Chains A and B, each alone.
Chain A
Amino acid sequence: MPIRGWNAMRFRLSTSCLAILAALCISVPSQAQSSKGAGISGVVTNEHGAPLEIVNVQLIGTLEGSATDSNGRFRFKTSQTGVQHLRASMIGFEPTVMELTISPGDSLYVSIVLTETIIMLEEIVVTASAFTTGDQGKSMTFRSLDVVTTPSANADIARAVQTLPGVVAMDEGAGLYVRGGEVSETVMLLDEATLAHPYRYESPTGGYFGTIPPFLINGTFFSSGGFSAKYGNALSAVLAMETFDLPSSLTYTVGVGLAATSVAANIPAFPDKLGVRLSGNRSSTGLMFRMNGAGQDFTLTPRSYDGNLSVIYKYSPGGQLKFFNYINTDRVGVKVDEPSFPGIFSSEEVSRLHSLSWRDASSEWLFASTISLSSFGSERSLGNMNLKPSDESYQVRVDGTRMFGENLRLSIGAEMERLENAFEGAFPRNSSVLDPNADVFRLKEHFATQRWGGYGEVEAQLSRKLLGCVGTRTDYSHEANQVVLDPRLSACYQFSNQTRARLSWGVYHQFAEPYKLNEVSGNPNLRAQSAKHLVASLEYTADPLMVRLEAYHKKYLDLSLPDKILHWTNGGTGSAEGIDFFLKYGGFLQTRINGWISYSYLLSRRLQARDLVDYYMYEKAPSPFDITHNLTIVAKSQLIGLLGGGLTFRYATGKPITPIVGAVYRDEGYYEPIEGPLNSQRLPDFIRLDVSLSYFLPFGTRNSAVFYLGVSNVLNRANPVEYEYSFDYSTRQLRTTDYRRFVYLGFVLSFGTLGTEI
């Protein structure tokens, strides 16, 4: 091999410089030509008629072809005869295949039009207001690690979802209040099974944590409005979670934190065939509260146990059965100072979920079915209240999806759900008065409702840039004796691969809880509440940046409204309008700095009942969830080496409150409050800054340790909770959160998890 001199090299390079790109445009004679070969020539243009340069034009299965020149022209000779397929392809355009019948000596001329690549139906969410997490698919908003590593989320899915636009922070809890809707208007699903009680340590605003631990979850879909017909019996929002499938390798995880210890194992018993996932978690917050000098109000610090056992059987490459079991118990005791009674609230809760899900993609249809039992039992006592409410939800669901070509997807499904509420114990006649001497109802009731639902939905690529989704669902409640019909429409127009606009409209119904339909304290004629969503959205995505702006209008009808005689009526109406803004940059391990900014502007008004003791006065007023401005900033970064840090800042307008303007003295020895104008005042604004540090330490070949330190409410701000009134309601003072600056630390050891899909 000759060793060439520098000058020779320079000469060769300088001449080649002139033809760098041109070189790719020259025609290439076919390798195998014969004297009787045919000639193929033509032109390739885009859909506007402009010639395309450097297009690969080739007979499939051969090396015969050519590349187009600057005029889009190509020419080559071929020895192939008979029916052949000519393929033209170019980066940024959809490949085109043309059938040619070639005879020896032919001279064929073809015109080929290539269309610009556009994101297809398979890869895009047509409906507005959707956020997805997971590690597969191109339409993911977040990867799983983005969620888990969010400061302030405490590795809790519901809390992570709270950082998205449209979800307002009502307090320190995990409750999902979406676009002016009540917490119960957001339905949570696990493997398509409804979670009867999705929160732990339940409170009037939901609960303090989500029931399902994040390490059981493979991916989530959250929609803050305009969601598809697949989801029923939800007025405002859907959070659908999917558990992990078959484990691919043997992994163990041990976690030890200031308030919790956990273990988990993923065991592929028969690789690619049968696997088991096990986990257990014990939390006891006593030490954590003591270390942070807090928790004096607890008579029993929050503590819980949970366990999971999943068995996954893959009976064919496209078919899988999953038996998922989860149980959680939690207990808490806390001092409560009510105007009528200072006492101790104690609570013990048990949640269970058992589901058997089947998925089969062996045929042209993708079938999925779930049979589930979700149950909740509790015992709560405070003053004159001593209740043992329990709920059970039985559900059967079948979904089928099929693609017809590349441009049409049909989804159909049906579900049956039986809900049971049981109450046993004493319940205050006036829910504001908990004095042990105050009047109570003695209850031992059991209520049940059954709902059947079905839906059909068609998603279609109407043109290259327009995608549409038309669906409708119908639900029937046996107890309410009502059939509801919910049409839903969505369209997505793609200006380019980066910019798209969406429009979603739909009707949504949610039936009342079973206890509201009873003849004694409820109204058997109570109908489903309804809402109409209209959402317009504009999104720009240019990796690693994503910006989304949405405007929405939500109209409520037939809302449940308390009534002194009928107990409940459907007289409630309301509306919610607002703007949501979302900006996301980068991702965990994708960019050095990553995070997102969510801002929501909300105006929510409802017709509500003002309690004037002897009667209700109905007023249209700001809803209790009318948080005008809600801003969340999440920022994460790899600081030095393997040390990562993050912060979450949250600001929310103070929540509306109804002042107490007077009180009526009762012979039983307590005062009954008289409400002032509904939600006419607000608590001070909510501001919170949380920070976290984590250090990742890989060891061995596939093991790792993560050490973490979190500080919640770094500013030590006394965020408002509510106004507490004196016994006669003549004076009030602001009660602030017990969750001041709070330090949490721990570590997680993982064995066999690195570099594998767990």
Chain B
Amino acid sequence: MTLLRKAVDLQYSITVLLLFLLIPCSGTAQSDQETSTFLKAKRLMTDAINTSNREPLLQAREVLEPFTKHETLSALAHYYLGYIDYRIGVVIEQSNRNSAVAALDSAVSHLEIAVKEDESFAEAYALLASCYGIKIGFAPHKGIVYGPKSGRLMNKAKTIAPENPRVALLDAIGMYYAPTIFGGGVDKALKGFRRAAQLFASWEDVDPLQPSWGREEVYAWIGIAHSKRNESILARIAFEKALEINPDYGWVKYVLMPGLTKGAKEKE
């Protein structure tokens, strides 16, 4: 695992260096270059998230930050910066409360700007809703404030883009963590994850600059929900499906799948 991480770090360092070399270029190809840089940053970020590695995420953030002043890509840049902070808060810093909360606060700031700049940005509304939902987990006393806010933002996202699979996925994740009395629960969430998977199946990512994450993650969540229902076979099938989509998906490969096997052995 250490070797893998070092290799990934090295690879990111090289990529980031290349990206920095590309950014100052000017001339007629600026727009294409920007798009290319943005795309590479996006890919860098996505792959970094796959490995749950903090440093590449921070590097990706550095690459994306200049785009926050971009005329047309600003909202998207804020979205991705929010997404990076969201991942840092949820996965990487989950055991360090203060860092996680700080990351989520930063995510909220970026996503608030994203939806302000693009009022029809459904995925940003959904991610923002999810951030508020997770903040309740860190500070239950703020549930009275963040709960309704999260619900309103998610409803707005669903109204704008009812068929968007990432909106459906984030909504289902919210249901997974919400108490039954507030309309949550594993069964409801599982239905939501399955719907999101169906939506992904018919969803085509037309614009490569737009968000494209979640295709493998939805199966990770389906597996988690099945695992919670003691349905290890379906959980394993779902995890395998996630790995089929993304063989390097670290969360499933190194955490969820081994956990399933370990759980079964413990029960034996």
Give A contacts to B, CB under 8 Å.
1-3, 6, 9-10, 12-13, 16-18, 20-21, 23-24, 26, 28, 31, 54, 56-58, 60-63, 65-67, 87, 89, 91-92, 135, 138, 140, 143, 543-544, 589-592, 638, 642, 696, 698, 701-702, 704, 754-756
Report Cα–Cα, A598/B119, bound state, in Å. 39
Across the A-B interface, give the 7 residue pairs with the lowest CB-CB distance, nearest first. Answer: A754-B141, A755-B140, A755-B141, A56-B231, A20-B201, A65-B233, A63-B264
Answer whether residue B78 sits at the interface, using C-beta atoms and an 8 A cutoff.
no
Contact: A58 with B229, CB < 8 Å? no
CB distance from A708 to the nearest CB of B (A): 15
Contact: A28 with B233, CB < 8 Å? yes
Binds A, one of B61-69, B104-112, B120-128, B241-249: B241-249
User: Of A17, A87, A544, which is in contact with the most chain B CB atoms at under 10 Å from its CB?
Assistant: A17
Report Cα–Cα, A28/B239, bound state, in Å. 12
Answer whether residue B167 sits at the interface, using C-beta atoms and an 8 A cutoff.
no
Contact: A91 with B191, CB < 8 Å? yes
CB distance from A92 to the nearest CB of B (A): 8
CB distance from A90 to the nearest CB of B (A): 8
CB distance from A135 to the nearest CB of B (A): 7
Contact: A754 with B140, CB < 8 Å? yes
Answer whether residue B232 sits at the interface, using C-beta atoms and an 8 A cutoff.
yes
CB distance from B176 to the nearest CB of A (A): 13
Contact: A28 with B238, CB < 8 Å? no
Contact partner of B183 (CB less than 8 A), chosen from A28, A89, A91, A543, is: A543
In the complex where A10-B205, A20-B197 touch, is A67 in contact with B145 (Cβ < 8 A)? no
Chain B contacts of A755 at CB under 8 A?
139-143
Chain A contacts of B229 at CB under 8 A?
56, 89, 91
Report Cα–Cα, A138/B184, bound state, in Å. 12
User: Of B11, B215, B234, which is in contact with the most chain A CB atoms at under 10 Å from its CB?
Assistant: B234
In the complex where A56-B231, A91-B190 touch, is A589 in contact with B244 (Cβ < 8 A)? no
Report Cα–Cα, A89/B230, bound state, in Å. 9
Chain B contacts of A17 at CB under 8 A?
200-202
Contact: A696 with B144, CB < 8 Å? yes
Contact: B139 with A24, CB < 8 Å? no
10 sampled A-B residue pairs with Cβ under 8 A: A3-B11, A9-B212, A21-B198, A58-B231, A61-B268, A66-B233, A135-B181, A698-B144, A704-B144, A754-B141
Contact: A54 with B151, CB < 8 Å? no
Contact: B47 with A3, CB < 8 Å? yes
Contact: A56 with B233, CB < 8 Å? yes
Report Cα–Cα, A590/B184, bound state, in Å. 11
Contact partner of B237 (CB less than 8 A), chosen from A23, A544, A754, is: A23
Chain B contacts of A138 at CB under 8 A?
180
Contact partner of A589 (CB less than 8 A), chosen from B50, B141, B144, B212, is: B144
In the complex where A10-B205, A63-B264 touch, is A24 in contact with B182 (Cβ < 8 A)? no
> What 1/0 mask marks residues of chain B from 18 to 30 whose CB sits below 8 Å from any chain A CB?
0000000000000
Chain B contacts of A2 at CB under 8 A?
248
Answer whether residue B7 sits at the interface, using C-beta atoms and an 8 A cutoff.
yes
Contact: A1 with B7, CB < 8 Å? yes
Contact partner of A89 (CB less than 8 A), chosen from B231, B236, B240, is: B231
Contact: A63 with B232, CB < 8 Å? yes
Contact partner of B43 (CB less than 8 A), chosen from A3, A143, A704, is: A3
A1-B47, A24-B234, A61-B267 are known contacts; what are 11 more A-B pairs with Cβ within 8 Å? Answer: A1-B8, A58-B232, A62-B268, A67-B237, A87-B230, A135-B181, A701-B141, A702-B141, A754-B142, A755-B141, A756-B141
